[in-house]
Amino acid sequence: MTSHVLSQLRSLEAESIHIIREVVAEMERPVLLFSGGKDSIVMLHLAAKAFAPARIPFPIMHVDTGLNFQTVLDCRDRWVDRLGIQLVVASVQDAIDRGLVSEEPNGSRNRIQTPVLLEAMEKNGFDAAFGGGRRDEEKARAKERVFSFRDDFGQWDPKNQRPEIWSLYNGRVHQGESIRVFPLSNWTELDIWSYIAAENIDLPDLYLAQEREVVDRGGMLFAVNEFTPLKEGETSEVRSVRYRTVGDANLTAAVASDAATLHEIVEETAAVRITERGATRGDDKVSEAAMEDRKREGYF
């Protein structure tokens, strides 16, 4: 007898595709926020499946901080060319030059991404933005609904969220309001890597282990590059490392690893006991509530 039971991965895939189609059916002008990291690439892959053989019926938007790994930008452009989709770039450097935002003393551009994102959402009339957040990543993200309501200032109130019983989503918004949508909410990091391996999805090579020059700062291994040069008194070393998450090059750390293939990454991920953000993101160590504070301000 033929089995009709979906595997875990195919069940997650079907749920995410349903959410993406639901947003296109309910909202007037959605956009997919694309960082070039593994989660946003999986979202883009799912969106392509959701509407195949037609093109994806919405643009993607990259909030470009100006501190990106070049390999991430190269991968972004490959996907744009391959799928023939519109790319909207919201530049943080341009916003600094115009005086909309100012550089943070610690060199992080995470917090000042938010006004740039909100300005681009309003300018382009986007009323829904897909984000790649997963509930297993971090405490604030675990609180988010799949359809996460934002007021007319782009702000999120974690104590005022809409119920989603029986996976029924409410996308009704008033003029100026919007929603963030998280089709990967129920995925784990292991699910993401298992799916990437199963579908052989194109990613930046940062995710694969290579010998790289790194410097140890507080137990975190930062690659030595134009954004993270050696400081006085520091010494670097060459180690086999890879990235579990991709953010700004000056704040994202690598992890020691020999996993040089997708299947080796799946095996490695199955054995870890700390989330990728906890292990590698210096910006999340500002305070216990750093992510929630940014999300309240409108960060995706």
Q: Residue 185 in contact with residue 146, Cβ under 8 Å? A: yes
Q: What is the pLDDT of residue 61?
A: 97
Q: Residue 258 in contact with residue 264, Cβ under 8 Å? A: yes
Residue-by-residue pLDDT tens, the chain, 300 positions: 566 667 999 999 999 999 999 999 999 999 999 999 999 999 999 999 999 999 999 999 999 999 999 999 999 999 999 999 999 999 999 999 999 998 888 778 888 999 999 999 999 999 999 999 999 887 777 888 899 888 888 788 888 888 888 888 988 888 888 899 999 999 999 999 999 999 999 999 999 999 999 999 988 999 998 889 999 999 999 999 999 998 888 889 999 999 999 999 999 999 887 777 665 655 555 555 666 666 666 666
Q: Tell me the residue type at 170.
A: N
Q: What is the pLDDT of residue 10?
A: 95
Domains in the chain and their CATH numbers? 8-190+288-297 (3.40.50.620), 204-271 (no CATH)
Q: What is the pLDDT of residue 224?
A: 94
Q: Tell me the residue type at 112.
A: I
Write the secondary structure of the chain as one string of H (helix), E (strand) and C (coil): CCCCCCCHHHHHHHHHHHHHHHHHHHCCCEEEECCCCHHHHHHHHHHHHHHCCCCCCCCEEEEECCCCCHHHHHHHHHHHHHHCCCEEEEEHHHHHHHCCCCCCCCCCCCCCHHHHHHHHHHHHCCCEEECCCCCCCCHHHHHCCCEEEECCCCCCCCCCCCCCHHHCCCCCCCCCCEEEECCCCCCCHHHHHHHHHHHCCCCCHHHCCEEEEEEEECCEEEECCCCCCCCCCCCCEEEEEECCCCCCCCCECEEECCCCCHHHHHHHHHHCCCCHHHHHEHHHHCCCCHHHHHHHHCCC
Q: Residue 136 in contact with residue 186, Cβ under 8 Å? A: no
- Rounded Cα distance, 43 and 219, in Å: 32
- Token look-up 């784990």 returns 188
Q: What is the pLDDT of residue 187?
A: 96
Sign of CA dihedral 280, 139, 169, 128: negative
Closest CA to 86 of 63, 55, 109, 114: 55
pTM beyond 0.85: yes
Closest CA to 267 of 256, 277, 282, 257: 257
Q: What is the pLDDT of residue 221?
A: 93
